[in-house]
Structures are given as C-alpha cells and as structure tokens.
Amino acid sequence: MDANPTIESIPFWSNLTIQVDTLRLDLIHPIVSGNKWYKLKYYFKEARATNAKKIASFGGPYSNHLVALAYFAKLNGLKSMGYMRCNEGEPITTSMQEAISYGMEIIYLGRTSFQEKKTKLLFDQKTNKHTEIYFIDEGGYGTIGAKGASTIISDWENTKLNNRDGNPIHAYDYIVCAVGTGTMIAGIINAAAVNQNILGIPVLKNEGSIKEEIKYLLENKDAAFSLLHDYHQGGYAKTTPEQIQFMNRLWDHSKVPTDIVYTGKLFYATAQLIQLNYFKQGSKVLIIHSGGLQGNQSLEKGVLHY
C-alpha cells in the first residue's frame, strides 16, 4: 500500500483574501482510509518485530479505526480482535459487519465499564501478560501513532507531486483538522513548521483532558496549537440538520464527501471561521480530510446526496 494523497482547491471558499485547499487523505485507499493508514503503519511494524500473531484494538460500533485495522491485519497475515464499546445483543452495525468480514473477532466490553477494561488490557500487555496479542489503543492513540501521523506532512513534502503547481504543506499558514483522540493533530504539530498555525476541531463535547493528551504526544511540549471546542454539534457522532445541509452543499459544490462524526464538523467549522474572518488576510489554509465515512451509515438512505 502506497499512500499518495492529493491537495485540491475549494474554489467557492477561496477569494482575494484567503486560499483554502484540502488534503484528500480519504482517497489514498478505499478501506484503510485517510489518517488510519498513517497512524497504524508503525504499530504493525512493531507488531511484526515482536512476532505477534494477533492485533487488537478498541472502538465503538461505527469505528473507522477497527474496520481499517481488520483489513490491514488481514493484508499482513495477522488475526485481529476488536474490543467494542457496546453490549452483546445490540444490533450489529454495518461497520462491525465489515470488520467481521475481514476476519475480526468481536469482543463486547459494554458501555459503562469500557474505559476500565480497556485500561487493564493495555496495562497487561505492558507487563507481558499478553505475548501473542499486540494491543493498539483506541483510535491509534500513542507516540507510535503520532509518529505515523507526522508522515502525513513528510510524505507530501517528499513526493514528486511537489513538482506541480501545488503548494508544499509547509507553505500553508494554517492547517486545520478534526480531533478525536488527538493522535493525528499531535503528529501534524510535530512535523509542522514553526510559523504554521495548527488548529484542531474536537468532535467530543466537554473534552476537558484532550489538550493534555495531545501535549503528551508532542516532541516539543511547548509547541503552539489551538483547539476550538464549539463545533462538536452536540457531542460524538451527534449531528444537526444544519450540519447535514452543509455536508450536502459541500458535496454539490466540490464533490468532497464528509461524515457526521469527524470531517463534516471539521469542514463546517472551517466555513464558519471563514465567515467570521478568523484567518488573516492573505493566508493559505489547508484542511486535512482524514477520511472515513462509517458514521454516515447510521443515517437513513437519502439524507445525504452521496
């Protein structure tokens, strides 16, 4: 698998004042979509080095991460296990069905005690109680995941695509991305130029610890970045009619598909910030499209135009 993303302009957002582009990580692979490829690749490298036979991770019933991990494991000849934040007997989502089709074994941890059970399993691996199972934290969180995410920038900077008229990523004044676990934005901060403004849009409500969780993954703990907490649309996987209307307009104008969990909120937030003149005049703004449309499967058919 060879990640080879492209940068596309969003003409109807760009004007004489600012230029707005998006890095289409969603196009690098149909299943290991977007930032999943970057966050997982070094984990799998370490898993192979330790002779692990199984890869295990955690997530909810609409997890892009678990679907990508299941496929990636099958591709690498490894078994996969998905510890789910739901209860046995609940409806199996299309995301879970897809992960199962790639060979993933589903283990139900429940909803109320999910974090406690997850913490224990991760701790047990560190104390070598699981020798054949390689555990990855939810969403690929960790320094290894951030290391992979940093190559989102370095891969583009080193690619032959820079020989075209497109900008190198370091030429952008602002880089904007969605924030779940904080792994991707930490990698971007680690790889960004000193003069770049890194802006994160958290998708969870009342996520008071996310800033410290991001800082934990930074090579320079004093590196500057900003988080805007007012664009979560009610919380994780929550949406509003206004967001749905916006996602459809974005598709109709630019053919950029987004999801209700991450990228829909990201692009919606960026559009509102443009209207508020948040970005300095003359700025170049890059939106990181982190891929994954699994969350949209919870919507009724026809709600979205794509």
Instruction: For 78-106, write each residue's pLDDT tens digit.
Output: 999 999 999 999 999 989 999 999 999 99
Query: Could you give all domains of the chain from N- to C-terminal order, each with its CATH number?
Result: 7-30+152-298 (3.40.50.1100), 36-140 (3.40.50.1100)
Report residue 8: phi and psi, to 5°: -120, 145
Cβ pair 5, 261 in contact under 8 A:
no
Angle between helices 183-191 and 35-49 (to 10 degrees): 90
Ranges of residues in the chain with a pLDDT under 70 are: 1-4, 129-130, 159-166
* pLDDT for residue 135: 95
Alpha carbon distances (Å) from 25 to 155, 199, 290: 12, 17, 6
- Name the residue among 222, 160, 215, 157 with its Cα closest to residue 186: 215
**Residue in the structure block whose two tokens are 């443009």:** 274
Alpha-helix residue ranges (DSSP H) falling in 31-142? 35-49, 64-75, 94-101, 114-126
* pLDDT for residue 16: 77
Distance CA 188, CA 148 (A): 10
Contacts of residue 28, Cβ cutoff 8 Å, sequence gap at least 6: 3, 4, 5, 34, 37, 291
* pLDDT for residue 67: 95
Alpha carbon distances (Å) from 301 to 294, 304, 306: 14, 7, 10
* pLDDT for residue 163: 45
Helix (H) or strand (E) holding 252: helix 241-254
Cβ pair 134, 76 in contact under 8 A:
no
* pLDDT for residue 12: 86
Cβ pair 68, 33 in contact under 8 A:
yes
Cβ pair 55, 104 in contact under 8 A:
no
* pLDDT for residue 212: 97
